[in-house]
């Protein structure tokens, strides 16, 4: 494996400023899961000026919808889902203190500006590397909104969770720069 940076959550502004696109990272600590429905609800809560059901300061949000858990396992396969669907919500979540998101695919809309302004980073995990990712998840507990089923907010305890910085707090976007570098037509 190429050189890696180790990150322990919750993250600080300094952690984020030290990251640039293309960095391989291993994340250890806790990460929180949320996708479409939970984001809608989180933003509603924030807009009302109320408190979220977990302390979001310095935390990362993982966009995921795992396969069923086998008996005796912590989780099923837990790879990323497409992040672009959360473009509308992510800036508000960053503003509330989150230090970034984990998913797959480019994030647009207000996200690049929000990453700069709030010092955040967007990480990707390899789409379709769900079995590998699951090996780094050591605990999995419900945080809020059980009624949302697969979309409920959960807390994963992770050890050496493998991710790559795709969009950083300095305006770097690997989807643009990486493709430009290798495009020959």
Partner 1 sequence: MRQIDAAKITEEVKKLCIEANYYLGKDVMDALEAGHKKEESPVGKEIISQILENDKIAAEGVFPMCQDTGAAVVFVEQGADVFVNGNLFEAINEGVRQGYKDGYLRKSMCDPITRKNTGDNTPAIIHMNVVPGDKLKIIVAPKGGGSENMSFVKMMKPADGIEGVKEFVIDSVKNAGSNPCPPIVVGVGIGGIFEKSAQLAKKALLRTIGSKHPDPFYADLEAELLEKVNKTGVGPQGLGGTVTALAVFVEVHPCHIASFPAAVNINCHAARHKEAVI
CB of 156 to partner 1, least distance (A): 13
**Torsions phi, psi for 166 (to 5 deg):** -105, -35
Residues linked to residue 6 through DSSP beta bridges, in sequence order: 26
CB of 36 to partner 1, least distance (A): 10
> Which string of b and e fits 100-132 if b means at least 16 CB within 10 Å?
bbbbbbbbeebbbebbeebbbbbbbbeeeebee
Instruction: Give 181's contacts (C-beta < 8 A, 6+ positions apart).
Output: none
User: At 150, is the secondary structure helix, strand, or coil?
Assistant: helix
Please give the residues from 12 up to 31 whose contact with partner 1 meets the rule CB under 8 A. Answer: 22, 24
Window of 7-15, 39-47, 61-69, 139-147 that interacts with partner 1 by CB under 8 A: 61-69
Rounded CA-CA distance 43/27 in Å is 26
| DSSP tag of 93 | H
- By CB under 8 A, residue 70 contacts partner 1: yes
Window of 9-17, 27-35, 46-54, 102-110 that interacts with partner 1 by CB under 8 A: 102-110
Please give the residues from 103 up to 162 whose contact with partner 1 meets the rule CB under 8 A. Answer: 104-106, 124, 126-135, 162
Binding site for partner 1 (CB under 8 A): 1-2, 22, 24, 64-70, 73, 76-79, 81-82, 84, 104-106, 124, 126-135, 162, 164, 166, 174-175, 177-185
Q: What residues are annotated to the active site?
A: 39
């Amino acid at each position: 494996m190429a050189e890696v940076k180790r990150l322990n959550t919750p993250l600080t502004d300094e952690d984020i400023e030290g990251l640039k696109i293309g960095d391989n990272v291993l994340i250890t600590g806790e990460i929180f899961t949320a996708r479409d429905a939970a984001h809608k609800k989180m933003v509603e809560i924030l807009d009302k000026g109320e408190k979220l059901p977990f302390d979001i300061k310095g935390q990362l949000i993982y966009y995921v919808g795992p396969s069923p858990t086998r008996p005796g396992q912590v989780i099923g396969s837990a790879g990323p889902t497409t992040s672009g669907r959360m473009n509308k919500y992510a800036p508000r979540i960053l503003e509330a203190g989150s230090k970034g998101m984990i998913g797959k695919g480019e994030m647009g809309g207000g996200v690049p500006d929000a990453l700069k302004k709030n010092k955040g980073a967007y990480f990707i995990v390899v789409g379709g590397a769900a079995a590998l990712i699951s090996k780094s998840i050591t605990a999995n507990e419900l945080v809020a909104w059980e009624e949302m089923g697969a979309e409920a907010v959960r807390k994963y305890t992770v050890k050496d969770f493998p991710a790559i910085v795709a969009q950083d707090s300095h305006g770097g976007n690997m989807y643009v720069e990486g493709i430009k570098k290798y495009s020959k037509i």
